[in-house]
């Protein structure tokens, strides 16, 4: 059942975009970095990001999801005098989703911020772009595929259940046959003892009569 719950959760969360672009860039906290994207109407844009800061002790960029790190995410419509349609603040890592209302050039901007002064940063960014119709079509296809897999699993589980029922029936038949054999063996032993006892008593009586006739007793 746990496997079925996981599969059904995947049916809800699974998405297959048309295109994906992943990259990273270096900068400093407080700096705004923007990317131009030409999007058509009803295009779905999903962005994933992860912010790392430079650690002098380790001489490397280290990811930390502390409250001192945050990222401001902005999406602006360049064709409409840089009208801002998305302006949200997130943690050191996360995602955002945006659907283009009009066709044209869009500006996707990230501005990391840290407490305690200027810090070197590394931002990992991934964009997934696809039309709503294509994403819905792929999701339906994926859902159908997963549903088929679930049906196969259910069929296998039912087959295993039938085999277990058959094994239990055979065990019950064997147990009944074993109990019947034990019962017959017990009664045969009882009857044998009775016959043996009767035979001994008859022989003793016959011998006693024989000895009396022979005047031995």
Whole-number Cα distances in Å, 166 to 160, 170, 180 = 10, 6, 21
- Rg (Cα) of the chain, in Å, rounded? 42
Is the domain defined by 16-135 classed in CATH 3.40.367.20? no
* Whole-structure pTM value: 0.52
Are 40 and 129 within 8 A, CB to CB? no
Q: Would you give per-residue pLDDT tens digits along the chain (217 residues)? A: 444 444 444 443 344 344 555 889 999 988 999 999 888 888 888 889 999 999 888 889 998 777 788 999 999 999 888 899 889 998 889 998 888 888 889 999 999 998 877 889 999 999 888 765 555 555 566 677 777 788 888 888 888 888 888 888 889 888 888 888 888 888 888 888 888 888 888 888 877 777 777 665 5
Q: What's the pLDDT score for residue 52?
A: 92
What distance in Å separates the CA atoms of residue 180 and residue 20, rounded to the nearest whole number? 71
């Amino acid at each position: 059942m746990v496997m079925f719950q996981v599969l059904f959760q995947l049916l809800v969360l699974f998405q297959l975009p048309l295109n994906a672009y992943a990259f990273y860039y270096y900068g400093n906290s407080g700096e705004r970095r923007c990317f131009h994207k030409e999007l058509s109407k009803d295009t779905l844009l999903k962005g994933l990001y992860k912010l790392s800061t430079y650690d002098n002790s380790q001489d490397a960029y280290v990811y930390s999801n502390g409250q001192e790190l945050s990222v401001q995410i902005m999406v602006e419509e360049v064709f409409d005098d840089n009208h801002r349609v998305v302006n949200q603040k997130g943690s050191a890592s996360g995602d955002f989703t945006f659907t283009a209302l009009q066709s044209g050039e869009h500006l996707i901007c990230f501005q990391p911020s840290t407490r305690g002064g200027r810090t070197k940063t590394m931002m990992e960014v991934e964009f997934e772009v696809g039309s709503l119709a294509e994403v819905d079509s792929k999701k339906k296809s994926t859902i159908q595929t997963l549903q088929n897999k679930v049906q196969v699993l259910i069929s296998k589980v039912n087959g295993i259940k039938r085999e277990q029922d058959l094994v239990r029936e055979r065990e019950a038949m064997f147990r009944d046959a074993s109990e019947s054999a034990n019962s017959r063996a017990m009664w045969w032993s009882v009857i044998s003892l009775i016959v043996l006892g009767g035979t001994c008593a008859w022989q003793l009586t016959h011998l006693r009569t024989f000895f009396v006739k022979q005047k031995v007793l």
